[in-house]
Structure 1
């Protein structure tokens, strides 16, 4: 090797155009497959495919990911129904690939795609109603306990009522 070979190599490197650095773990682009938009045309929520993973984004934030996008689509459909009940006009559009996936799952169950999706949406509506019932039950139980404590204190019982303030072991 000559004494000038390093200098020649360095000069050649400086003359080459700059290349972007390709990272092994580079982010793949997200392909939108379902988009929920409001009447102003703003995207409220979306389902996208990044590589092999389905992503759910609401309000510009990624909220979750899954291998199967159909439950996420049912959630967006439920959100659309709730928005329309509140008087807001929203539009849910989804891709032919997502529609084909729904068609395949519906065929496996022996129903139409609309019936299959409606069934999934109704499950979200059932969960919403159950949560409200549980909260009401908890409130009434707490009120009943408070009334019982007040009654015991008014009667002057020697034994104090059990308190929820004590830490559980």
Structure 2
């Protein structure tokens, strides 16, 4: 069994400045920089056979490369904050790619969680952080922006628990290139 999700990797020029913001928030369990990603679709626990079928369908996705950008911060959890994150500017291309990843799951009969698509990079999971404290932290970092960065591929990641605890490790199991018409013109 694998705990799988499709996501876009985050390059160091975006992740390193975000890592520097990871402080001064009580109750935060900061995510390691190597775990930063933009989730397209979370699939949950899948058997080897279902994972292979999903890999095949994700490999059929035909999409162009596109630009992403970090624009501010946010949190999940209306009354009791559960995470803080860096907001990714929405675009038609990003929404379409996430939709295609969800469609692959539906074709296999994989039940998906019913959450609106909110493109983000999780910076910390929270435990016992008061709402006002989470709001103050996100407001203090609301002006954070990244330069645009190019999404040229996405991965099927497996979430692997670490022996002895600590944050899970996210291992890319498969790569799916996006068509990049600008490659070679830089």
TM-score range, shorter chain: under 0.3
More strand by share: 2
Greater CA radius of gyration, 1 or 2? 1
TM-score in terms of structure 1 length: 0.22
More helix by share: 1
TM-score in terms of structure 2 length: 0.20
